[in-house]
Amino acid sequence: MNKRQSPKASTRRPARATKTGSGSACKPADGNAIQPLIAQLLDALGEDPKRNGLQKTPERVAQAFAFFTKGYNQDIREIMNGALFPLEYDEMVIVRDIDFYSLCEHHLLPFFGKCHIGYIPNKRVVGLSKLPRIVEALSRRLQVQERLTVEIAETLKTELNPLGVGVVIEAQHLCMMMRGIEKQNTIAVTSHMLGGFRKQQQTREEFLKLIGRSA
C-alpha cells in the first residue's frame, strides 16, 4: 500500500502517509533513539543532563514525543471501519469545537485550538465520534495548520463521498506566542471547503453560522 518505500524507509517515515491522510500505518516513534538525543540537547543547552532534576528527562521527553506523534500509527481506514451507516438524511451534519493539539513542524512547538467539521451526507452518515478521531489521527504528528485543515477535509471527502465538506480550524501557535513576534491573543483561522460548501454561498453561510462564526 505504501508506495513511498525508499532505501531509507527503515529510518525515515514519510511526512504524510498519503495525500489525503488516509494512509497506511507507520512505525512508532523510536523512544530508544530519542533519549540520547535529548541528553545531547540538554548538554548543548549548557545544562548538566546528569543533575538530579534532569536524569529522567530524556525518557520523559521520548515518551511525550511518542504521544505527540502517535497519529503516524493511526490508520484512517481502520478508524472508519464499519462506521458508515446508510441514512436518507441530506441536511448538514456538524461537529464543532473539537479540541486538538498538534506540533508545528517548523519549531516543534505546539499549536492547538478547535476544529469544526461540517458535511452533507450522500445517502450515508458516519458515526459522530469518528470525526474527532480523524482530527486526532491527523493532528498528532508534525503539521502546519493549513495542511491539517486540508487533510481533514480531503480525508472526509475520500471516505464519505459527501455532497460537501467544510473544515474550519482556529488555533494558537506557541511559536508565535513565546518566541518571534510574541503575540498572545492571535488566533490563526484556516478553512477548507469542498463540494456544496465551496459552490453554494448559502451552504457555506449556514455552516459558518452554526459553528459560531459570521459568514
d(CA 84, CA 128): 10
- Give least dist CB 186 to Zn ion, A: 13
| Residue whose CB is less far from Zn ion, 107 or 198 | 107
Q: Which of 115, 136, 145, 206 is catalytic?
A: 145
User: Is the Cβ of residue 1 or residue 181 nearer to Zn ion in the bound state?
Assistant: 181
C-beta of 185: minimal distance to Zn ion in Å?
17
Q: d(Cα 43, Cα 49) in Å, to the nearest integer?
A: 6
CA 156, chain centre distance (Å):
13
Active-site position among 40, 55, 106, 205? 106
| Shorter beta-carbon distance to Zn ion: residue 50 or 106 | 106
- 107, 170, 172, 200: the catalytic one is 107
Contact between residue 49 and residue 39 where contact means Cβ atoms under 8 Å apart: yes
Catalytic residue among 104, 151, 192, 206: 104
State how far the Cα of 209 lies from the Cα of 112, in Å rounded to an integer: 22
Query: For Zn ion, which is the closer residue by CB, 37 or 108?
Result: 108
Nearest approach in angstroms of CB 142 to Zn ion is: 10
Closest CB to Zn ion among residues 102, 203:
102
Can 106 be counted among the known catalytic residues?
A: yes
Q: What angle do CA 131, 134, 136 make, to 5 degrees?
A: 110
12 Rama sector, left if φ>0, alpha if ψ -120 to 50, beta otherwise: beta
Give the nearest distance from C-beta 44 to Zn ion in angstroms. Answer: 20
> Cα separation of 106 and 173, whole Å?
11
Contacts with Zn ion, residue ranges (CB under 5 A):
104, 106-107, 175
Give the residue at shortest CB distance from Zn ion. Answer: 175
In terms of DSSP bridges, do strands 188-195 and 142-143 run parallel, antiparallel, or are they unpaired?
unpaired
Residue 191: strand pairing partners = 168
Spot the catalytic one: 151, 173, 192, 206.
Answer: 173
The C-alpha cell at 109 is 512547538
Least distance from Zn ion to the Cβ atom of residue 8, Å: 26
Active site residue 55: no
104 is catalytic: yes
User: Is 107 designated active site?
Assistant: yes
- Which amino acid does the sequence have at 97? D
Q: Which residues are known to be catalytic?
A: 104-107, 145, 173, 175
